[in-house]
């Protein structure tokens, strides 16, 4: 049992390190100033247990978006994001581009 817990901790740390490095290496574009909006987003597909929420949160913070993100019992990931529309669209595009996720609907 202890070995299993140790392996889970190692796997979680590797996943976290991977996401941190990946987000740090994204070449962020410059964005035109736009009005602030709020958007409710639900990602459906293989989006849980892959670091999806952490990556979404880190990208959002890098581009100046605020809000929250959570797992749903249905297996989807739900978010409420506030900021400029072009930045929210960019965030959604980045999340759709994740190879380890399989998004079937936004």
Which is nearest to 51 in space by CA: 101, 106, 105? 101
Residue 20: φ, ψ to 5°:
-60, -45
Sheet bearing 102-105, strands edge to edge: 66-71, 77-84, 36-46, 102-105
Lookup result for tokens 């739900």:
78
Going from the C-alpha of 66 to that of each of 41, 60, 98, the distances in angstroms are 13, 7, 21
Residues assigned a catalytic role? 53, 71
């Amino acid at each position: 049992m202890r070995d299993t817990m140790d392996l889970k901790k190692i796997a979680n740390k590797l996943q976290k390190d991977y996401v941190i490095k990946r987000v740090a290496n994204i070449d962020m574009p410059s964005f035109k100033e736009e009005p602030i909006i709020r958007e409710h987003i639900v990602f459906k597909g293989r989006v849980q247990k892959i670091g999806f929420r952490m990556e979404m949160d880190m990208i959002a913070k890098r581009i100046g978006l605020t809000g929250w993100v959570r797992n749903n019992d249905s297996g989807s990931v739900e978010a409420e994001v506030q900021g400029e529309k072009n930045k929210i669209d960019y965030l959604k595009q980045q999340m759709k581009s994740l190879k380890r996720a399989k998004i079937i609907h936004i």
